[in-house]
Structure 1
Amino acid sequence: MGCDLEVDVNGEEIFFVDKEILSSFSGRLRKLFHKPSVTAAVKDLKVVFHDFPGGAEAFELLTRFCYNNGRAQITPTNTCPLHCVAHFMEMTDAISSSQNLIKLTEKSLKGIAYWTWPETVNALKQCQDFFSIANSSGILGKILDSLLGRITTAGDTSPSGSSPESSAFRFSCDTRSTISTKFSNCRSWWYEDLIVLNSDVVEKFIRSMVARKVDHAVISRFLFYYFKCRFTNAITDEKNKVTEITIDLLNSLDRSSVSCKGLFGILRISSSLKLSKDCRDKLETMIGSQIDLAILDNLLVPATKTVDSLYDVNLILRFLKSFLNSGGRESLTRLKRVGSLMDLYLAEVAPDSCLKPAMFIALTTSLPDVARDCHDAIYRAIDMYLEVHAYLSDEEKMKICHVINYEKLSSECCKHLAKNSRFPSKTAIQALVSQHSKLKNLLQDTNQLKSFGKTPIKGKQCEEGEQVILYAKKLDLSMENEKLKAHLQGMQWKVMELEKICRKMQTQMTKLKKTQKSNPSVPKSLPRLCS
């Protein structure tokens, strides 16, 4: 038996084999050697394989099969490489119907349900070394189906050969203490065994899990864990691929199952990578859609080197746009949470001397007015911004102050504004008009209380309140700023006094109603509060 064929397997090892023996089982070699142009002028043939599945070890298994006249011991350990080799070498029925390696390996796969967990995981790891042919031949899908079947039916109990303790979910973007309390419910015994898989196999694995309707929260936690473990030890190119695939897979899950804090972790870790625009857009859209769950520290993302400001304000604006576009404006509760969060963010960025007025205005106007019940925080942020940017013209300052809803300013803030020289004088006038409206409404409320209780309300407080309203109507709004501020301060005091009166009257009315219910003989009159 001669060795007339030299085979270079992936540059790993060179084998000298009998051409006829291997050709009798391999359609690939048979087609190659039956070409006259190949064999006519060459006595000693050489074949070079660059992508032989399983490398030199798998080729040796193939030669043993061929030299043993198509007999081999097929086990869970070698089923995967032999199956892929058989497909690669085209060992079909047309070449050898009786001793067909593809049929033998497929027969072994029929018993995959009886393989141990480590044997099945090991077969999956083998697939990643020759992913393309393992995927196209169908063996990868069968192994994944077997693994998923065990994961979805095993619950919290680890199958034989796998240790729940060694597979514990030791990382997430949540805290360690949180993870330890959740461990018993997150079915994470298999996480540790599968983090060694490359990104191609993990992508296929997760797509299969989604198709089989595995709990998205379990999938999400695994992806965050996988990302952390793989990212830490990967080279730059692999980091890019792992990050992009992780983001793409998380984007395929229900938003409610994906941790907002975890997404911010990926954003922070991947900031130095050159991710595709599509990938970054997906990440930002996911974060934006649940920005109401974020905290201030999440938003304090440093600006890129090309931007002068301290924080990446453009990023936050994109988050807010995504939030509103994804239905955030439909829930008043969520909208107000974002409003409160943005008030905190504004307080952080307002002292930044490099923050351009246009960007500051974009931040203050990014949410609809209903997102805030009170504009005190907006006022304080603008106050800090104008203090740092004292060089701005009155026109620029007015543009910045335009966002303030004076009706939503507390009396204390209006009083502070009246004395605040950093604000344009026109803003004091607007505050005065707003307080005029507040006084009018308060007196209307008071009159309604009078009418309801049928008790004449006389006295100094109410009369002076009415006089204040009349005086405000006659007030010349073009008067000097200092005089205007003085009157405004007086108005503030009246507003606060009337607010106290109204609250007191409402309390008395409530008590009186209760008394009347329990004792109908009590006269229906209210106490005289304005004496």
Structure 2
Amino acid sequence: MASEVTPCASTSPPDSSGLRISFNTRSTQSSNKGLFRATWWFEDLSALSPNLIEMLVKSMVSRGYNHVIVSGFLFYYQKSKFYTASSDEKREVLEIVIDMLYTLDPSSISCKSLFGVLRPVLRSNISKSCRNKLESMIGSQLDQATIDNLLIPSYGRSYLYDVNLVLRFLKAFLREGGSESSPIRMKKVASLIDLYITEVAPDRCLKSSKFSALVMVLPDSARDSWDELYHAMDIYLEVHTGLSKEEKMKICGGLNYKKLSSEACMHLSQNTKFPSTSAVQALISQQWKLKNLLEGMHNAKHYTDFTAKEDRGREQVVVYNEKLRAQLKGMQWRVMELEKVCKKMQNQMAKIMKAKVLTHSDARPLPRLCS
């Protein structure tokens, strides 16, 4: 006779398979036995109707059963039922599974398994409330998603990928406290979305309003660098040549020039696909970086002279000063390189403004930004 199983009430995070068993094991064999002891009833109960499953799961949760095991059973139930179920039965199963998952501890549910449920949901006519619950659960764990998870085809629409769905995921992530709970989670989501924007940018049917929404949905603090977003914008403008000036300005309006690398700023200053104001902003950003670098050099040199006078003769300070002087030489080289870049950008801007003078007689000369 099979021994009775009483899953523990803990809700430790699941592993990649969506099911984690909290047994102390010393070997693979004992681990397999533990897995069997915890899940032997999955197949037997999968024959029950959705209504009975709902009653069963509610009872298990109220009795403190392990949420990880309960969620694992719900995913198993959904897959096993789909082999023989009709369209209406599939819809009923999906709604019960989603409703029950929504009552569990979010940390007990695998993000990968949620995307597995999402695929049939997109092809079925489930209730809006259940769809919203599933999107909310996925959004709250968006930092665990992959780029392949997000590249969801847009069924019945002209554009390739379902951008609206990803935007709803992002809003759910922000709504569930993703922006406040952990800066690390936020940066992971930002990196993921930058990859996603780069993937969808070549879609000729993607409207500029949707592209701008993807760029602007996350706060500026989510990104340390905007180079990846600039690259995505460059691709989008390359493909969508018929955009109006206003549409281009809206797309570029969210670009943080101070978080662009020197290479990206240099490329932008010569990029005719972008509005001319963007080239000016890139030049101003480079001047700002150059100014800060020069000020840093001045402060470092002042500190070096001061320590040399106060601590002359002390061997440790001499070694430190030698290292600092070497750093100063490196900084001087960087200044020279930035001055070269600035000079090239000035020449490029002079050409742009010269072209504008030919069409606008009242155009004012470009102020001298670099000295």
Q: If the TM-score is normalised by the length of the shorter chain, which range does it land in?
A: 0.7 to 0.9
How far has the Cα of 1:371 moved from its partner?
A: 0.9
- CA-to-partner distance for each residue in 1:478-506, whole Å, 9 max, x for gaps? 8442789xx9xx98xx9xxxxxxxxxxxx
CA distance in 1, matches of 2:261, 2:83: 51
Residue 481 of structure 1, aligned match among 344, 352, 355: 352
CA distance in 1, matches of 2:123, 2:331: 69
Find the counterpart in structure 2 of residue 450 from structure 1. 301
Larger RCO (CA within 8 A; separation ≥ 6)? 2
What amino acid maps onto 1:327 in structure 2? G
For the pair 1:380 / 2:231, whether they are aligned, the reply is yes
For the pair 1:174 / 2:17, whether they are aligned, the reply is yes
Find the counterpart in structure 2 of residue 151 from structure 1. 5
What amino acid maps onto 2:294 in structure 1? L
- CA-to-partner distance for each residue in 1:406-428, whole Å, 9 max, x for gaps? 11111111121122121111111
For the pair 1:320 / 2:163, whether they are aligned, the reply is no
- CA-to-partner distance for each residue in 1:183-202, whole Å, 9 max, x for gaps? 55542122122111111111
CA distance in 2, matches of 1:344, 1:265: 21
CA distance in 2, matches of 1:299, 1:397: 26
Report the secondary structure of 2:6's partner residue.
helix
C-alpha distance 458-389 of structure 1, shift in aligned 2 (>3 A): closer
Moved more, 447-456 or 334-343: 447-456
For the pair 1:252 / 2:99, whether they are aligned, the reply is no
How far has the Cα of 1:174 moved from its partner?
A: 3.1
For the pair 1:192 / 2:63, whether they are aligned, the reply is no
Residue 226 of structure 1, aligned match among 69, 72, 77: 77
- Confirm or deny: 8 A CA contact 2:18 2:112 kept in the other structure: no
C-alpha distance 368-190 of structure 1, shift in aligned 2 (>3 A): same
C-alpha distance 183-175 of structure 1, shift in aligned 2 (>3 A): farther
Correspondences of 1:271-290 after superposition (within 5 Å):
271-290=122-141
Report the secondary structure of 1:391's partner residue.
coil
Find the counterpart in structure 2 of residue 424 from structure 1. 275
- CA-to-partner distance for each residue in 1:275-330, whole Å, 9 max, x for gaps? 0011101111111111111000110111121x221011000000000000000001
CA distance in 2, matches of 1:430, 1:446: 24
CA distance in 2, matches of 1:464, 1:292: 39
- Confirm or deny: 8 A CA contact 1:292 1:337 kept in the other structure: yes
Find the counterpart in structure 2 of residue 403 from structure 1. 254
CA distance in 2, matches of 1:465, 1:311: 46
What amino acid maps onto 2:4 in structure 1? R
CA distance in 1, matches of 2:113, 2:338: 59
Find the counterpart in structure 2 of residue 368 from structure 1. 219
Note the aligned Cα RMSD (angstroms): 3.6
Find the counterpart in structure 1 of residue 192 from structure 2. 341
- Confirm or deny: 8 A CA contact 1:151 1:190 kept in the other structure: no
- Confirm or deny: 8 A CA contact 2:111 2:144 kept in the other structure: yes
- CA-to-partner distance for each residue in 1:460-494, whole Å, 9 max, x for gaps? 9479759959x99xx8998442789xx9xx98xx9
For the pair 1:267 / 2:118, whether they are aligned, the reply is yes
Residue 160 of structure 2, aligned match among 290, 304, 310: 310
The structure that has the greater radius of gyration is 1
Find the counterpart in structure 1 of residue 179 from structure 2. 329
- Confirm or deny: 8 A CA contact 2:7 2:69 kept in the other structure: no
What amino acid maps onto 2:242 in structure 1? Y
Report the secondary structure of 2:271's partner residue.
coil
For the pair 1:300 / 2:171, whether they are aligned, the reply is no
For the pair 1:359 / 2:202, whether they are aligned, the reply is no
CA distance in 2, matches of 1:459, 1:292: 38
C-alpha distance 234-364 of structure 1, shift in aligned 2 (>3 A): same
What amino acid maps onto 2:171 in structure 1? K
Correspondences of 1:79-158 after superposition (within 5 Å):
150-152=4-6
How far has the Cα of 1:459 moved from its partner?
A: 12
- CA-to-partner distance for each residue in 1:223-245, whole Å, 9 max, x for gaps? 11111001222111111111100
TM-score after normalising by structure 1: 0.55
C-alpha distance 460-412 of structure 1, shift in aligned 2 (>3 A): closer
Gaps of 5+ in 2: 9-14, 22-27, 309-324, 356-365
Report the secondary structure of 1:240's partner residue.
helix
- Confirm or deny: 8 A CA contact 2:18 2:109 kept in the other structure: no
CA distance in 2, matches of 1:229, 1:463: 63
Residue 286 of structure 2, aligned match among 435, 449, 464: 435
Residue 241 of structure 2, aligned match among 390, 397, 417: 390
- Confirm or deny: 8 A CA contact 2:293 2:335 kept in the other structure: no
- Confirm or deny: 8 A CA contact 1:285 1:319 kept in the other structure: yes
- Confirm or deny: 8 A CA contact 2:290 2:338 kept in the other structure: no
How far has the Cα of 1:211 moved from its partner?
A: 0.4
- Confirm or deny: 8 A CA contact 1:173 1:265 kept in the other structure: no
- CA-to-partner distance for each residue in 1:369-410, whole Å, 9 max, x for gaps? 111110000000000000000111222211111111011111
- Confirm or deny: 8 A CA contact 2:294 2:335 kept in the other structure: no
What amino acid maps onto 1:421 in structure 2? T
- Confirm or deny: 8 A CA contact 1:173 1:224 kept in the other structure: no
How far has the Cα of 1:356 moved from its partner?
A: 0.3
- Confirm or deny: 8 A CA contact 2:18 2:72 kept in the other structure: no
CA distance in 2, matches of 1:153, 1:478: 70
Find the counterpart in structure 2 of residue 59 from structure 1. none
- Confirm or deny: 8 A CA contact 1:247 1:279 kept in the other structure: yes
